[in-house]
Structure 1
Amino acid sequence: MSADSGEHDCAAELAGIRDALAGLGHPWQCGETRLSRLSADSRRARLGVPAPSADEIAARAELPALMADSALRAAGEPVAAVHAPTPHLPAAFDLRDVGGRSYVTPVKDQGECGSCSAFGAIATLESTAAYTRRAPGLRLDLSEAHAFFGHAAARNAILPDGTWPDELLEDFVTLGVAFEDCYPYSDDGSGSLHPRWRDRSASAEKVVDLSRNPAAIKQHLYAYGPVTACLVVYDDLFHYTGGVYRHTVEQTSGGHCVALIGWDDTAGCWIAKNSWGPDWGEDGFFRIAYGEAYIEDYPDPRPTTLGCTGVNLRAWLPPQRALGLFATAHDANGWVYLENLGWIRLSGGAHSTTNKLAMLTAARASGSPVSPFVEGAELSMIQLAH
């Protein structure tokens, strides 16, 4: 079935939502989006987290108010993590604008495939890699196809209505994930993994469960980067065009995974990156009220609100300039500051380090870029770019 098949008239649906929003004081705006005219089946195909049970939802009846209160009380809490911009949590934070720099990769489109957990988990990895390095120019593009059609399929974890982000993040720690060009995404599952993908891969460091803890979610966002989160999708969300989302209908279509990238206490909301393309919502992003749609603790026993503390790379990276060099009198202790990567240690012992420093010094003096091969926290090879 194509993306445009099974269309239906959404005028009555939109009229009912507008009436409900008027009664709430217009907290958000609705309109005809690229998902509005899709059939119910095609809408559900753009989700991908197993639907919650009625019992799990009932057990969380008091959760929305508790989560909203906890999120607001976190402002001003001390932050100990070394990557945090300031020692206390601010009232608002957005990874798209940290001192005028963005650490968020472009919005993607999962198409008609229940692969949202792959997109949420990959978005978390891509931005965590940049933010923990303070390298907004890193611009990683990792493979959702490898995550979903590779790792999840190998686990037999692609369920009829989706998969879970915790399993994918676990695989990112133990196995790693390829760069996009090693396994380009197509929603029909076509394509294959390049046999040498391990030479263009990323792996996650420690995965942290932040479920049901808004203060911990904010701490992690501020210190390390995005957080995967799952939410119950009420049917009005498909028509969201802007504002702070709160559901106005009770009909649901299933569960969905996104990446949280910030918050705003004045508006009382999280800021999330979706995977329905850049022409949905607020340029592909949306704001959702604290406690709304169980986004801090999805109705299931397993953890779904997750972050990682770092990302290791093994790959040749695009050519870039060496902006700074550092060495001490101790052998094999050389460092370089690359414009799109930040500070990284030179590996390979005294002789190799000396040679790399000489190459980098010459390249820096001439303004010539270099292509670095990164393994974990070290730069192991350099090529002069022509």
Structure 2
Amino acid sequence: MSDYRHRKLGAIPSPKDHRDFHVARFVQVERSFPVEFKVAPLIPEPYDQDDVGACVAYSLKAIKEIQEQKERNTYTRYSAAYIYGAREQKHYRGEGMIPREALEILLKRGVCREQLLPGIYPYPVAATMITEAMHHDAYPQRIKAYAAAYRVEEIKSALMDLGPVMAVIPVYDSFYQGGHLPRPDPIKENMYGFHALVLVGWTKDNRWLALNSWGKDWGELGGYCTLPFDYPFSEIWTITDLVVQPEPKVYEIFVSPWRKGSRRAWLVHMGLFATKEEAVEQVIKPLQDDLARAGQKLKINT
């Protein structure tokens, strides 16, 4: 059995960012779920990142291939080396990848077909191999958005509605065996870094089914593994081609009693605005239009 401890892990935890979309923006989370589930169709067999810290790139490659096959009913292989090498100047530019930065590449640049850039290479080499032709080929494969998931119900909803998700995990001694992984024991086990996997479903015994990128000979499940629902994930991401709808603007309405002499009424205040024009454009004009369609008029006192 091969010793996989020499493998470079390559996932560098993403800094926290409150601007990240939440998966609940794209899927219904509060729902019932089947006892077990597996995304279909899967890729023909697990990929092998070899001795390059490209687990994030291979995870996103596999996710994109599975999603595209489901949506278009055709299987296209995409380039992990493109995702690994096509970083922007502001991105981390060493070995391994920050997951959010890799997702930004898919969002802004897409991913080219594998035939234009096959294989995998250390980052400095991969970066020099990127061409304008690859950028042009990648552009149609851009994603519309990426989103974070945190709870079991969110991950299940993402798997059912959007497809596979990328999970970043801390790697302890017990991970290298593959197969049915236990929850790691940080007291008894050594930690070696972080690694990215692709969650593709769950089993009836409350375990995630995950695709690794260490080839089909890793572990007893042919390159896959299972993890308990309470495995200590570092971050979980889903990608989608659904159009992101802007958050609806919420206006506060204040209702207060009003009295003038013997006349009593209630005043309705529609929030505060920087200018009169802003109030007219955002609230009064739409309200006038709605009332006009109902055959009524709005009287404005200023």
Question: TM-score, normalization: structure 2?
Answer: 0.66
Contact (CA 8 Å) 2:49, 2:213: kept in 1 or not? yes
Letter in 2 for 1:106: E
CA distance in 1, matches of 2:104, 2:199: 19
1:35 aligns with 3
2:266 aligns with none
Contact (CA 8 Å) 2:47, 2:216: kept in 1 or not? yes
Q: CA 1:218/1:176 → structure 2, altered by over 3 Å: closer, same or farther?
A: same
- Deviations along 1:25-53, one digit per CA (max 9) or x if unpaired, are xxxxxxx3x235x5xxx23x2x012379x
1:233 aligns with 171
Match of 2:183 among 242, 246, 252: 246
CA distance in 1, matches of 2:60, 2:90: 16
- Deviations along 1:251-302, one digit per CA (max 9) or x if unpaired, are 11110011111012x322111111111110211111011111x12xx1xxxx
Match of 2:240 among 279, 289, 309: 309
1:144 aligns with 80
Report SS of the residue matched to 1:230.
strand
Report SS of the residue matched to 2:3.
coil
What does 1:59-208 align with in structure 2 at a 5 Å threshold?
A: 88-96=32-40, 102-104=41-43, 106-131=45-70, 133=71, 135=73, 138-151=74-87, 154-159=89-94, 162-188=96-122, 190=125, 192-201=129-138, 202-208=141-147
Report SS of the residue matched to 2:68.
helix
CA distance in 1, matches of 2:94, 2:147: 24
2:206 aligns with 268
CA distance in 1, matches of 2:146, 2:91: 22
2:282 aligns with none
CA distance in 1, matches of 2:153, 2:136: 37
Following superposition, the deviation at residue 247 of structure 1 comes to 2.7
Report SS of the residue matched to 1:169.
helix
CA distance in 2, matches of 1:115, 1:155: 19
Contact (CA 8 Å) 1:92, 1:263: kept in 2 or not? yes
User: Higher Cα Rg: structure 1 or 2?
Assistant: 2
- Deviations along 1:79-102, one digit per CA (max 9) or x if unpaired, are 759xxxxx8421110114xxxxx2
1:10 aligns with none
Report SS of the residue matched to 1:231.
strand
Contact (CA 8 Å) 1:111, 1:276: kept in 2 or not? yes
- Deviations along 1:104-152, one digit per CA (max 9) or x if unpaired, are 3531111111111111122222212223x172xx222111111112226
Report SS of the residue matched to 2:176.
helix
Letter in 2 for 1:273: L
1:29 aligns with none
- Deviations along 1:311-354, one digit per CA (max 9) or x if unpaired, are 99xxxxxxxxxxxxxxxxxxxxxxxxxxxxxxxxxxxxxxxxxx
Contact (CA 8 Å) 2:86, 2:105: kept in 1 or not? no
Contact (CA 8 Å) 2:58, 2:80: kept in 1 or not? yes
Q: CA 1:311/1:122 → structure 2, altered by over 3 Å: closer, same or farther?
A: farther
CA RMSD of aligned residues (A): 2.9
Contact (CA 8 Å) 1:117, 1:257: kept in 2 or not? yes
Letter in 1 for 2:35: A
2:19 aligns with none
Taking only the aligned residue pairs, the percentage that are identical comes to 24
CA distance in 1, matches of 2:107, 2:43: 21
1:223 aligns with 2:165: no
Unpaired runs of 5+ residues, structure 2, are 17-26, 244-302
Q: CA 1:309/1:188 → structure 2, altered by over 3 Å: closer, same or farther?
A: closer
Following superposition, the deviation at residue 237 of structure 1 comes to 1.4
Report SS of the residue matched to 1:178.
coil
